[in-house]
Structure 1
């Protein structure tokens, strides 16, 4: 078996045994393919079964010149997982990355927007175009429900349970959850559906997809990034933002207004509340308010 065969076998394992999403599997595979490219460029002919720690150290050293410590740590973690799979399948006896240290990255607090900044971002959307009504509905849904961008683009009309006040979200690993949706967000989705989408030519296979591109197909994640980036430039927002920034802001604003972490965890779809704690940054002012409000010795 060559590298390609082992990678395909690993991808099947991630999909079937671990139930990971297509996007996650692509990210894992990308790191292995990057290693393969390094081996080709340096004339190193070695299989996944034969490769040793020294060669992997050379690869990681070359990568460290191009990416930040956080990305470097992710690459090492991804490769450790791949070689761990090879051990699990009895292809190897040891993990060549076992003694390679992951760079310390610290806990990176997520960037967020204020409520005013989000309002300005959405207000900058040009509503006279068909895409404008769609974009407003998408941004309101991203922020109003705290969705991942992959969850937004895959959202189905059949996932909308407006009478009950929920939307069904399919998250990482195809795990489903119900997220509350406000009347305001419902309103903008309905405006888009009734005035724009109903007049669109929908391609076969995308009849149930909520947000469509000009060709009547599902939007890409990259397109959502571009839409938000262009709006940020339009309002002279001096922050580097992405669709995930709206998700971070959703969680932070809920917490600052008194929501408990457990409820936020359920809405975000985190398996562990520790992940939610990392997502939601707390400023000292808010912590002081919590102490003064709830401690018996206030």
Structure 2
């Protein structure tokens, strides 16, 4: 058994059996390829069945010189998952990564923008060309619903349920969820569908895709990153902006205005409430307000 064949088999398992997203699978693949490249460079001719704990440790030590603790943790986690699969399939008896220590990393608080700054970003869009109207609609939709970039570029016309005030979103692991969308964002989408999209001929397979590029295909993740980056430069924004910034800002603003954490979890599509709790750390006054407003003894006199 060689590395390439087992890697292909493993990635297929992640796709079919675990239902992970393409981006997650690609990330696992990249990290495993780092190990394969290391073995090639060191001229270590050893199969995935025979590779030892020592060799894995030496690889991790080598990459630790080049990448952050967070990236190291991700690589080790990916290797552990890969060798767990090999044990599960009876290719190996033991997992050589079991004793590897994952670097301790602090919780990275997400970047956010205020509603006012997001308004400035949107106001900076050049609406004199059709792509401007499309770009405004994309940003309004992402901020309105807290969508991931992969979710917004994969939105379908058939995912819009405006009579009910919801859109259907295909999230990580191909899990569907329904997210409420406010009327202003609906109006932008309706305008784009009625006035802009009809002038683009969708290519085969993209007839139901909501947001199209000039050639009638779906947008790429990179294109959305570039749109936001250029707008941030245009208004001299003092921080990096990504599609995830809009998602984080959506959650943070909802929390600040009293939204329930469980409701935010459902809208974001977080599997665990722990993931959503990071937003509490952005605004600790939320915790104080919860106690003052909801504690059963708050109205007792001294």
Smaller-chain TM-score bracket: over 0.9
- SS of the residue aligned with 1:178? strand
The answer as to whether partners of 1:252 and 1:281 remain within 8 angstroms in 2 is: no
> What CA distance in whole angstroms lies between the structure 2 residues aligned with 1:208 and 1:154?
10
2:129 equivalent in structure 1? 129
Q: Is the 8 A contact 1:153 1:218 kept in 2?
A: yes
Question: In the aligned structure 1, how far is the partner of 2:47 from the partner of 2:279?
Answer: 39
Between the aligned partners of 1:239 and 1:290, the Cα distance in structure 2 is 31
Determine helix, strand or coil for the equivalent of 2:167: strand
SS of 1:281's partner is helix
Quick check: 1:166 aligned with 2:166? yes
* SS at 1:227 equivalent: helix
**Corresponding position: 1:297 with 2:298:** yes
Distance 1:276-1:241 versus aligned 2 partners, 3 A rule? same
Aligned twin of 1:214 = 214
Match of 2:39 in 1: 39
2:194 paired residue number: 194
| 1:176 alignment partner in structure 2 | 176
Q: Which runs of 4+ in 1 moved over 3 A?
A: 279-282
Q: Is the 8 A contact 1:248 1:280 kept in 2?
A: no
Q: TM-score, normalised by structure 1?
A: 0.97
Distance (whole Å) between structure 2 residues aligned to residue 66 and residue 226 of structure 1:
27
Q: Secondary structure at the match of 1:12?
A: helix
Count matched residues.
298
1:224 is aligned to 224
Q: Is the 8 A contact 1:150 1:221 kept in 2?
A: yes
Map 1:91-110 to 2 at 5 A: 91-110=91-110
Task: Look up the match of 2:253.
Answer: 253
CA distance, structure 2, for counterparts of residue 125 and residue 207 of structure 1: 26
Normalization by structure 2: what TM-score? Answer: 0.95
- Deviation per CA, 1:258-278, whole angstroms, max 9, x where unpaired? 110111111111121111113
Q: Whole-Å Cα distance in 2 between the matches of residues 187 and 264 of structure 1?
A: 23
Task: Judge conservation of contact 1:110–1:281 (CA < 8 Å) in 2.
Answer: no
Structure 2: distance between partners of 1:180 and 1:203: 29
CA distance, structure 2, for counterparts of residue 67 and residue 114 of structure 1? 31
**For residues 219-277 of structure 1, what are the alpha-carbon distances to aligned partners after superposition, in whole Å with 9 as ceiling and x for unaligned?**
11111111111111111111122101111111111111011011111111112111111
User: What do the CA deviations read for 1:99-125 (whole angstroms, capped 9, x no partner)?
Assistant: 110000021111111111111111111
Aligned equivalents of 1:51, 1:119: Cα separation in 2: 54
Are 1:79 and 2:79 counterparts? yes
Q: Comparing 144-153 with 44-53, which one deviates more in the overlay?
A: 44-53
Q: For 2:43 and 2:51, how far apart are their aligned partners in 1?
A: 13
Structure 2: runs of 5+ lacking an equivalent: none
CA distance in 1, matches of 2:58, 2:34: 13
